[in-house]
Chain A
Amino acid sequence: MSEFTSGTLTAKNIHLSFGTNHVLRGIDLHVEKGTTASVIGPSGSGKSTLLRVMNRLIEPDQGDILLDGRSVLKDNPDELRRRIGMVFQQFNLFPHKTVAENISLALRKIRGMSKEQAREEALAQLDLVGLKHRADARPANLSGGQQQRVAIARALAMKPEVMFFDEATSALDPELVKGVLALMTDLAQGGMTMVVVTHEMGFSRNVSDVVTFMDAGVVVESGPPEQLFNDPRTERLQGFLSDVL
């Protein structure tokens, strides 16, 4: 299997409730391998929750999730998550470990690499995000942008077939956003399959192949970025775009 021959991800009719709160109401999302899908929408629309359902951090009440055309709901969820990298708004680096250890931990304990091998791989991944020189620092001593790049390196080190980004730049100071977005753009153009929940309309418009607009737990509109941004068909999307642009 070469690097990007897999990773087509499909969510079908996903429903999820927390108590009486019906968060996802029949979501369909299809991400072709090697493409980038961005998901936009107001806060509370269920975007972040949808990501967590698609890698089974939260189990859906109803619906199906397919990876390369095969349902993954019956498999071990840990196995699924090893194939899907995830980057969080708050970075969620492990503060009690060094930058290099953040990356090597899963390589050693899950991939079974030796300590030396895992460190070497961690350094290689850090080099790709330009942070090899901070390998032995603690995450707390890095800027937010650097922390997020480490978090991306940590996810990439597992050689995922798909990458999820959950508002990866929302917690960053404005001047740090650019570096992280540039890294995400490189990844997308390198052929990584990506699902990007974002408030960065520029990124959504310029980098993604498909844009999906969610509101109140449903997909309101979905299509190529030119269509959604230039010619929004629903009032809800028109209203949303006029609020954020």
Chain B
Amino acid sequence: MDILKQLSDTFLDWEAMGEVVPKMFAVGLPNTLVLAVISGIIGTLLGMALALMGISRNAAARWIARIYTDVLRGLPPVLTILVIGFGFGPIIRELTGSTSPYPMAIAALSLMSGAYIGEIFRSGIQSVDKGQLEASRALGFGYGASMRLVVVPQGIRRVLPALVNQFIALIKESSLVFLLGLLATEREIFQIGKDAAATSGNLSPYVAAAIFYLVLTIPLTHFVNWIDARFRSGRPEKKEPDDAAAVVGKGAHA
């Protein structure tokens, strides 16, 4: 019984939790959402650019996208955030006079998620039947217009579940920006919990932070399952393309 009591004192101290929750609502939650949403938007734009570069006819563009993606996906997020935050922070400070590491935090999260989202988009675009590009080109659309109007919209639809998963990851990874030493008003859910835990010597604020994260991520997880199921059952299976009938070969991209 002692152990149970000890655990409950450590993790379920309602008083300690009650103290930190208002601050999490007022400061932590908005900051977590701002970090995740803004980096999510920038990461999506960056990812789309990387995906289009990755399937481009231009070898240089393909290589740049490849190397960028390999490096950013291959590094631990904590390392990327530290390197970008501390490495580029001072330069930005000099240029803009701003001392806040917040923009650097957003930049690091955006650059990381861009690499993942780029691969998601690329796989989606490449999964679109070659016949779609062919049909569009046969109507007289150029390569760019065909991609924009026909191929890319279909590719994006297919990877919406993976995209939401990436957004969930971003919400969680946003907790790492505490490493950059944010101002009091810039702190997100995790750091508020961490600060409170450090001053009170009690871990209950972490539990409160955990509940905040779960309230954000679990609905999103189920949203993913829902769209996934809808895509699976709501639309009839697409027929496999007949390879022989869909030769997009030399010059088809011209």
Q: How far is the CA of A235 from the CA of B137 in the complex (A)?
A: 38
Is B135's CB under 8 angstroms from A89's CB? no
Closest to B156 in A: A96
Selecting from A105-113, A184-192, A210-218, the interface stretch reads: A105-113
Closest to A107 in B: B139
Is B141's CB under 8 angstroms from A57's CB? no
Q: How far is the CA of A77 from the CA of B143 in the complex (A)?
A: 11
Question: What chain B residues lie within 8 Å of A52 (beta carbons)?
Answer: 134, 247, 252
List CB contacts (< 8 Å) of A203-229 with chain B.
Answer: none
Closest to A105 in B: B149
Selecting from B12-20, B196-204, B205-213, B238-246, the interface stretch reads: B238-246
Is B245's CB under 8 angstroms from A18's CB? no
Closest to B252 in A: A57
Q: Is the C-beta of A149 less than 8 angstroms from some C-beta in chain B?
A: no
Q: How far is the CA of A27 from the CA of B44 in the complex (A)?
A: 48
Question: What chain B residues lie within 8 Å of A109 (beta carbons)?
Answer: 141, 145, 149
Is A88's CB under 8 angstroms from B245's CB? yes
Q: How far is the CA of A81 from the CA of B247 in the complex (A)?
A: 16
B18-37 Cβ-contact flags toward A at 8 Å (1 or 0): 00000000000000000000
Q: Is the C-beta of B236 less than 8 angstroms from some C-beta in chain A?
A: yes
Closest to A103 in B: B139
Q: How far is the CA of A58 from the CA of B248 in the complex (A)?
A: 7
List CB contacts (< 8 Å) of A34-57 with chain B.
Answer: 43-44, 48-49, 52, 55-57
Is B138's CB under 8 angstroms from A59's CB? no
Q: How far is the CA of A166 from the CA of B134 in the complex (A)?
A: 12
Is A89's CB under 8 angstroms from B245's CB? yes
List CB contacts (< 8 Å) of A54-109 with chain B.
Answer: 55-59, 77-79, 81-82, 84-86, 88-90, 92-96, 105-106, 109
Question: What chain B residues lie within 8 Å of A166 (beta carbons)?
Answer: 245
Is A56's CB under 8 angstroms from B235's CB? no
Question: What chain A residues lie within 8 Å of B145 (beta carbons)?
Answer: 109
Give the B-binding residues of A (Cβ under 8 A).
18, 43-44, 48-49, 52, 55-59, 77-79, 81-82, 84-86, 88-90, 92-96, 105-106, 109-110, 140, 151, 154-155, 158, 166-167, 171
